[in-house]
Amino acid sequence: MLGRLWPPEEAAALASSIILEYTGMNRGAQLAFGDRTAEKEQLERILDAAGRAAAGEPLQYILGYTIFCGERIEVGSGVLIPRPETEEMTAMIIAENSGFTGTVTDLCTGSGCIAIALSAAFPEATVVAAENSPAALRAAARNIQLTGTSVQLIAADILSQAPETVPVSDIIVSNPPYVRMSEMSDMHGNVTEYEPHEALFVPDNDPLLYYRAIAAIADARLEPGGALWLEVNEQLAAETASLLRRDIYENISIIKDIRGKERFIKAVRHER
Domains of the chain: 2-55 (no CATH), 79-269 (3.40.50.150)
**Closest by Cα among 86, 249, 97 to 171:** 97
Query: What's the CA gap between 251 and 269, in Å, rounded?
Result: 8
pLDDT score at 24: 66
**Average pLDDT over every residue of 217-236:** 98
Checking if the pLDDT of 52 tops 90, the result is no
pLDDT score at 32: 45
DSSP at 233: -
**Average pLDDT over every residue of 38-46:** 75
Task: Report pLDDT digits (tens) over 177-200.
Answer: 999 999 999 998 889 999 999 999
**Average pLDDT over every residue of 157-163:** 94
**Average pLDDT over every residue of 35-59:** 79
**Closest by Cα among 132, 124, 46, 121 to 91:** 121
Burial class (CB in 10 A: 0-12, 13-18, 19+), 152: middle
pLDDT score at 49: 83
Q: Please count the other Cβ atoms lying within 10 Å of the Cβ belonging to residue 269.
A: 21
**Average pLDDT over every residue of 156-174:** 95
Checking if the pLDDT of 161 tops 50, the result is yes
The answer to whether the beta carbons of residues 268 and 225 sit under 8 Å apart is yes
Residues 6+ apart with CB under 8 A from 43: 37
**Average pLDDT over every residue of 77-96:** 97
pLDDT score at 265: 98
End-to-end CA distance of the chain: 61
Per-residue confidence band for 260, with pLDDT thresholds at 50, 70 and 90:
very high
**Average pLDDT over every residue of 57-83:** 95
Task: Report pLDDT digits (tens) over 95-128.
Answer: 999 999 999 999 999 999 999 999 999 999 999 9
The answer to whether the beta carbons of residues 81 and 195 sit under 8 Å apart is yes
Q: Please count the other Cβ atoms lying within 10 Å of the Cβ belonging to residue 182.
A: 11
pLDDT score at 8: 73
Q: What is the mean pLDDT of the chain?
A: 91
Sign of CA dihedral 8, 9, 14, 20: positive
Task: Calculate what percentage of the chain has a pLDDT beyond 70.
Answer: 90
**Closest by Cα among 89, 111, 93, 112 to 102:** 93
**Average pLDDT over every residue of 77-97:** 97
Checking if the pLDDT of 253 tops 70, the result is yes
Per-residue confidence band for 46, with pLDDT thresholds at 50, 70 and 90:
confident
Pick left, alpha or beta for residue 24 (phi over 0 → left; psi -120 to 50 → alpha; otherwise beta): left
Residues 6+ apart with CB under 8 A from 175: 86, 89, 108, 110, 114, 230, 231
pLDDT score at 53: 86
- Residue-by-residue DSSP string for 116-163: HHHHHH-TTSEEEEEE--HHHHHHHHHHHHHHT---EEEE--TTTS-G
CA dihedral 91, 92, 94, 96 (to 10 degrees): 160
Higher pLDDT, 20 or 191: 191
Task: Report pLDDT digits (tens) over 26-41.
Answer: 565 455 455 566 576 7
